[in-house]
Amino acid sequence: MRQLLARTLAVAAATLAVTATAPAPAPSAASTDCPRLTGRWHGDARAHLQRLIDERGTCSRPGGPRPVAAFDWDNTVTKNDVTDATLSWALRHDRILRPARWRDTSAWLTPAADRALTTACGTRVPVGAPLPTSRDARCTDEIAVIRDSGTTTSGAPAFAGTWNHRRTVPQYAWVPQLFAGHTPAELSGYARAARREALAAPVGAVRTLGTRTVPGYVRYYDQQRDLIRTLRRAGFDVYIVSAGAAPITQVWSRSLGFDAAHTLAIRSVLDRGGRLTTRTEGCGGVPAGPGTVIPYIDGKRCWINQEIHGVHGPAAWQRRPWAERPALAAGDADTDATFVGDATGVHLVLDRNKPELMCRALDDADGRWLIQPMFIDPLPRRTAPYPCATTAYNAPGGGGSPLLRPDGSTVPDLSEGPSAS
């Protein structure tokens, strides 16, 4: 696998377009009973994925238990973030309702952020009425910057307080909270409109949101479409696990054959009238709350254990036995590090230079990690070593700490060069 990693990264450095990738070797005669991948991957990745399908799929052992495959969504199955695309559309079409107090939207919103939003968005609009964000660039900028960076436009922290940094991140939970007062069907409608717009825009398109420039397009990755389709045909039970808002992610995942039960994302608690509130459902014995637990880092493991395997209470936070873990897991960011690391067959990583995930992948402790450049507009390979031995691990209390292997040893600083080990 380490040789595979070197070959994969060498190819990534030599190309900036997926069209330059090489086809996988021809399948062996022993594995032809299982469906074949047809997508084009870098290096030998397709051959390794095919081997997993051949070995674990029910196509090779009819009547056996269905293995699980789990994929992050944004920038793993699609290029660009579909929740951000929906928020962009909503801001440009006046779909955010004015809250009575901005600090009510998040338990961690700072006084500085509350003041900034109140000043930028004003108080003329009645509470519960749409804010005129399509015309008010100042209000749009304040909302968009807080979502993107966790700070106000002046640079002040937008969120503060105590939360488990491996179970939630307030600015992610804030997006569904911004849509409080809408029904799930209304939010799904906004997501469908944003999807039509983003898929119609050419690759590389940008648009103006307030005074800022943001990505204007989204694409499904053809390789991931093919992988998901092939896994299903081989008998895998395939899930999405995302830190996006459930009504939004479900709109996008539906076209790839995922129903709501197979799309795990942030689930808002509804009020008696069936409208979204600022509270979100809990997991692992943690009750519903203000976004305390979402599918984020360890939260993704919790949701997989709870919703797929029926494990409830504190046990859902623990790594399960081999048979109760995904055979394949795919992600692109630190939010995916735990559940991707739990996979027993292949840990598939789309390289976006995220330290905790990339340190795990480059260390390749079990020889099953595959690193792939993004299939559209891949990032340049990082030349500086990742700070694996010092700050790569996202500590529960915040900040970074050394990344440890399961045996307790420290992962050394690693780079993406051919000599990485």
**Residue 284, domain member (yes or no):** yes
* Phi (first) and psi of residue 240, to 5 degrees: -105, 140
**Residue 345, domain member (yes or no):** yes
Residue corresponding to tokens 């939004």:
248
pLDDT at 407: 92
| CA angle at 324 for the pair 323 and 326, rounded to the nearest 5° | 95
CB 92 within 8 A of CB 130: no
Which domain covers residue 69, as residue numbers? Answer: 2-80+219-378
pLDDT confidence tier of residue 146, bands split at 50, 70 and 90: very high
Q: Which amino acid type is present at position 10?
A: A
Q: Which amino acid type is present at position 1?
A: M
H/E run at residue 313: none
Instruction: Report the pLDDT averaged over residues 147-157.
Output: 98
> How far is Cα 420 from Cα 405, in angstroms, rounded to an integer?
17
Residues contacting residue 124 through CB under 8 Å, at least 6 positions apart:
none
Burial letters for 88-98: b for 16+ Cβ neighbours within 10 Å, e otherwise? bbbbbebbbbb
CATH number at 25 reads 3.40.50.1000
> How far is Cα 56 from Cα 89, in angstroms, rounded to an integer?
41
Q: Is the pLDDT of residue 228 over 50?
A: yes
The total of structural domains in the chain comes to: 1
Q: Is the pLDDT of residue 2 over 70?
A: no
Q: Is the pLDDT of residue 110 over 70?
A: yes
115-132: per-residue pLDDT in tens?
A: 999 999 999 999 999 999
**Residue 123, domain member (yes or no):** no
**Residue 336, domain member (yes or no):** yes
**Residue 258, domain member (yes or no):** yes
Q: Is the pLDDT of residue 26 over 50?
A: no
When the pLDDT of each residue in the chain is averaged and rounded to a whole number, the result is 92
Instruction: Report the pLDDT averaged over residues 317-335.
Output: 98
> How far is Cα 340 from Cα 304, in angstroms, rounded to an integer?
11
CB 264 within 8 A of CB 239: yes
Instruction: Report the pLDDT averaged over residues 47-64.
Output: 94
> How far is Cα 51 from Cα 41, in angstroms, rounded to an integer?
14
CB 12 within 8 A of CB 381: yes
pLDDT confidence tier of residue 21, bands split at 50, 70 and 90: very low
Strands (DSSP E) contained in 250-399 are 263-266, 268-270, 276-280, 328-331, 346-351, 369-373, 393-394
**Residue 384, domain member (yes or no):** no
pLDDT at 411: 98
pLDDT at 236: 98
**Residue 146, domain member (yes or no):** no
Q: Is the pLDDT of residue 421 over 50?
A: no
pLDDT at 63: 87
DSSP three-state, residue 349: strand
209-221: per-residue pLDDT in tens?
A: 999 999 999 999 9
**Residue 312, domain member (yes or no):** yes
pLDDT confidence tier of residue 32, bands split at 50, 70 and 90: low
Instruction: Report the pLDDT averaged over residues 253-257.
Output: 98
Q: What is the distance in angstroms between the CA of the first residue and the CA of the last residue of the chain?
A: 10
| CA angle at 209 for the pair 207 and 212, rounded to the nearest 5° | 90
Instruction: Report the pLDDT averaged over residues 174-195.
Output: 98
